[in-house]
Structures are given as C-alpha cells and as structure tokens.
Amino acid sequence: MNIKSINTLLVPVPTIRAHKLSCTVMNEQVLVLVHIETNDGLEGWGEATTIGGLSYAEESPHSIKTNIDAYFTPLLLQEQPSNVAEAMKLLNKNIHGNRFAKSAVETALLDIQGKRLGLPISELLGGRVRDRVEVAWTLASGDTETDIAEAKRVINERKHRIFKLKIGSNSVDQDVAHVLEIKKALGEYRVIVDINQAWTELQCLDGISRLQEGGVALIEQPISQRNKAGLKRLTDRFNVAIMADEIVQDPQNAFWLAAEHCADVFAVKINQAGGLTNACLIGKIAALAGVDLYGGTMLEGPIGTIASAHAFSTFPTLAYDTELFGPLLLTDTILKQPLEYKDFGLVIPNKPGLGIEVDKEKVYLLAKESKI
C-alpha cells in the first residue's frame, strides 16, 4: 500500500439548530477526519465523528485524534501493510477497542483502494443492490410545534417522509404526549422514537404501550445497553418493533444478540461497528437471524455519511431505511460538491472510492483555525 502520511484533523462545524438528545444538546459537530496519502500519489479520507464528546460513548474527538496520532500512525507507517485487510488485522492485533478510530482509518484505506482499482467502495464490499437510500429526518428541537412545522416543511420540499423523535430528557408522560401529538399531525408518515437508553424497564411497560397504541413504527434502544435481558423481554412483549442501537457494538456481540433475538431490528453504524467491513458483517448476521436492519448515523459529516451509504447499499434488505441526514444538520460543507439528496433519499455515487471530492484546502484551514 506504501503509505506516505496519515493526518488526523478536528473540524468543528455549527449545526443549523440545537439538536437535543437525552444525553446532551448539540450546537456544533466536531468532525474527526483522517487523511491518508500514498507514495504513488493517491489519497483517501475517513471520518470518526461521534456524538457529544464523552457524554455518549467512550471515544471523543480528542481521544480519537490522540490515539490515531500516537498509536495507529506509527504502526501503519512502520509495518506498511500490503492491503486493507492486512492493515485492519494489524490494527486489531495491536490496538484494543477504538472502534471509531479504526472505522475512519479503514474508510480512508478503502477510498484509496477503490481509486486504485477504479471501483466504488460498495463494490469492494461485495456489490450494491441499490443506488439510493431513503433518509429519515430527526426532529430534536425539543418543542412540539416547532417539530411539526419542521416536518411538514421537509415533506413539502420532498426531502424526508420518515421522522425520528429524540426523547428521554423529559418525563415519560411529557415525552409520550410530545410524540403522539406529532404523530397525529403527520398522519400517514412514519414516526419512530429514539429513547437513547433513558427509560427503566418499568417505565417502558407504560411508555411503549402508549406509543404502540398511537401508531409509532419503531422504538430505538429504550433501556440501558447493559440490560440485554431486559431488551429481549421488551421485544417479546410488544408488537411494535424494538431496535437495538448502542448495544450493537461489533460483529461478535451482534451475533449473540441475534442468536437470542434480543431485538427485532439492528441499527448498524460503521463507526460503532469498528468499520465498514464489520458493519457489513453485522448486516449479514442480522439477515441470517431474521433481524431487520436500519442504517444508523453518529451524525457524521459527508465523509462518514457517504461511507455508511456505500455499506448500506450492499444490504439485501433495509426494511427500516436509514438516518443518514448528518450533513443536512450542518451549516457548512467540506466537499467541493455536496452530497446529492433528492426525492426523500441520498444518491450513492458510482465514482471510484467514496465518489466524493473533499475540499482539502478548506478542511486544513478550518482545522488550523479551530481552537479545540
């Protein structure tokens, strides 16, 4: 592969509005970008963006950058693996955890490999079965009327017709009332909720019952990721689909979750899985076990988003579509040509590698000017 350099950049970009989750309120997203160049003139980009620093997971933008700079880069430059698979084997042998960082590095290496072979990343992952993915929009202003107006606007603009509501920061009664009022206003359009582990199992018995009766289509990670048995009990109890998210961390634990049917649906996220190859493996495990799939997001910018889309394009079925709206939440783009969102979905490019052109000068300038 002949790697010349690996640079990790922190690029903060403000969001178009406050984005409220049960664990934090976001007003900007810090993109963690990995830029790899080879001695034969190729370059690749990856992204390891997470949500809300350490309030969401064990990796933060700063820890990702530090670990890539201090451990990943010296190892890869010294060993010079011959291909992507060998590089990931080397990293997994020598570096424990760090799934987000590994995902970014693998994405950049696959971008390079795709460009070298003249193939989109989706073809390196087994081949796509779709050229676009439907994209849900997350309503997370925290205000019911604001969310209803926002949903109706994006429907009229033909941008989105599936809506996820972030709840869990208020009481169960307040959150359920908020969701049901929005569902009533949106009528036929699909509404799903993400509780982000905020409820106890006892609270779920009441809250999910009312959400199910009100026509909500999907309940995402209602209880702690540590309570696998509880998630299975909820899955067995309710007719509304229960989705595992934070608990789905890698192919190994996805296998056990699928084998015990702890959820009806898996949210697959490339960063959470430890890379695109692992994300595709989780998709295969779920399919074999009869578990439906949802293409999740860590609110990545365009690099992580389109990398995710390449992976999800290879899933034989994608029953609950995707949530790849991250770039639309940002006030600025780092690409020379923005991703193509149209007719309620995201178009997946057919060009080699990721199929995008990063504005390299802009990215490096933003990283240099950043005070984080």
Active site residues: 166, 323
User: Which of helix, strand or coil describes residue 155?
Assistant: helix
User: Which of helix, strand or coil describes residue 142?
Assistant: coil
List all residues 6 or more positions away from 158 whose beta carbon is below 8 Å from its beta carbon: 342, 343, 344
CB contact at 8 A, 135 and 294: no
Q: Specify which residues 25 forms β-bridges with.
A: 20
Closest C-alpha to 121, from 44, 188, 51: 44
Distance CA 46, CA 362 (A): 16
Tokens of 227: 């309570």
User: Which of helix, strand or coil describes residue 10?
Assistant: strand
Q: Which residues of 176-202 are buried (b: 16+ CB within 10 A; e: fewer)?
A: bebbbebbebbeebbbbbbbbbbbeee
